[in-house]
A and B are shown apart, each in its own frame.
Chain A
Amino acid sequence: MRFPKPWSKKRGSRQVGRALVGTVGEAAFFAALFLAGVFILALTLAQRFVAGPWPPLATGLGFWTLVALAAGMILMAGTSLLWGVLQIGSSRERRNVMAGRAEELELMGRAAREFPAVPRGVNLTDSPGTRLTYRLPATSWPGKRLAAATALALMWNTVWLVLLAAVIAGFWSDSPRWVLTALLFPLAGIGVWVLRYYVRCLREASGVGATIVEIDEHPLQPGGSYRAHVIQLGRMTLRRLRVELICEEESTFRQGTDIRVDRHRILSEIIQEQYNVTIDLGRPWEQEFQLQIPSGAMHSFRSPHNAVHWKVIVSGEARPWPSFCQSFPVVVQPAAPLPKRNPR
């Protein structure tokens, strides 16, 4: 005879144990934990505040540890119990529908989504272009590395100067700090390396200028052809400059306790490739080209753990600076007989 398992466990898409017995078992466990938490809290507070034949508990580390332990048990068990009770008699589909209705209530007054699970790309059409209708935003801010390097160089060298002042003060007051003095040399070495890294980032940022991508229409549709304009500013000589249209899948998954993201490029089309390009401050590199979305291509897709992204990628191999790569997301909507939005 097999006893029903008082817990549920999911192995892949297979549920081990009966769902109801498992949920009831888990609910009973969390109820017991909740009651134990309440009991410990009541006992601790009573021993501390209620006068009786027992010696009163001091308000020290032990008291606060017990209070924190009991509060944690109550909070954790209470939340889990409530969640477990809500799950009884409710399928995943039903909960999904209820969550969807709550979302609809939040969205009341706003336009309903024409294309579910397709990103709207509202922020992609915020900025008007100078040559074409929209200027696409880049996914990463190019000055991020420079800002980080500046902050690191500033903080490290400030700390080093404070330590130097402490060492000098020690020598001044005839009580030299030899260990700290010895430590100053390796710390100074790291400080020099950080400063050099900062200068390199600064040179890169001043050499590799902004990348601008503009497009005449957005969102895009499979089978559509669109005009795009790329401008690369800066002062540099590039061995190669490439403009690509890519489509990639992105999956987020758990591996142990880590959350990992995997990407796979399913389409990569080189739209423009030029070698030995010289860019000056007053003479940026610019090019207009056609962006062709294949007719059978998958549209953009976004769900909590999976996505299909479309991007225009501008990359360059520069000398003496390292290569740069800027990515500009676009949204490809499914082709549908819906009225097109006014681009402005």
Chain B
Amino acid sequence: MFCREDQRYSGGDTLSVRWCIHPPASRSAATGEEAWDASIIQSLETSVMWYTEGKGEEDFKVHAFRRYGMAELAAMELSEPQILEAELPYSPHSYEGQLLRICWCVRLRLFLQGGDEIVAQHPFLLTATHAID
């Protein structure tokens, strides 16, 4: 969940995102009760990044990145909202052209047991708001 409803930011702004994960429930053999099984997530990466779309090959650049290892994940309550904050750069702006689109997003990549990965991505806009003097 983004800190602004319109998901529109400009350079120098601080982006604040709340995220949480609901891992699949598994039934306990001992008690027979269903519980969140967070241990299947081996590591997790959060990125604030831009990427290009369109006719040309994809380019991307990660602006802010954090990796959570198993030890960190064990100490976290993933189903509770976590906060990701990043100060946004002045460029490149989100752009939609004929051959090229520049998209900004917050991306969560989950590395699961067995080598599977899950990627969740949420777009936002980086625009210019400051008029020239």
Contact = CB atoms under 8 A, between A and B. Distances in A.
Contacts of A97: 47, 62, 65
A118 B132 contact: no
A287 interface: no
A334 B107 contact: no
Interface stretch (A138-146, A184-192, A294-302): A294-302
B117 interface: yes
B92 A96 contact: no
A68 interface: no
B60 to A, nearest CB: 7
Interface string B105-133: 00101010011110000000000101110
A96 B60 contact: yes
Given A222-B132, A306-B59, A336 B11 contact: yes
Contacts of A333: 91
Contacts of B63: 116
Contacts of A298: 93, 95, 97
Contact of B49 (A20, A93, A336): A93
Q: Which of B58, B91, B95 has the most CB of A within 10 A?
A: B91
Contact of B131 (A250, A254, A295, A338): A295
B32 interface: no
Contacts of A250: 56, 99
Contact of A20 (B93, B98, B115, B131): B115
A18 B112 CA distance: 12
B115 A18 contact: yes
A117 B117 contact: no
Interface in A211-245: 221-224
B12 interface: yes
B47 A93 contact: yes
A299 to B, nearest CB: 6
Contacts of A263: 99
A221 B90 contact: no
Interface string B57-70: 11111110101000
Interface in A1-39: 13, 18-21
A115 B99 CA distance: 22
A308 B97 contact: yes
Contacts of B98: 249, 264, 266
B66 to A, nearest CB: 10
A335 B57 contact: no
A306 B67 CA distance: 28
B45 interface: yes
A290 interface: no
B59 to A, nearest CB: 4
A222 B90 contact: no
Given A18-B115, A303-B61, A335 B132 contact: yes
Contacts of A251: 54-56, 99-100
A188 to B, nearest CB: 47
B92 A118 contact: yes
Given A94-B67, A100-B62, A251-B54, 6 more contacts: A21-B115, A93-B47, A97-B47, A253-B56, A303-B52, A336-B11
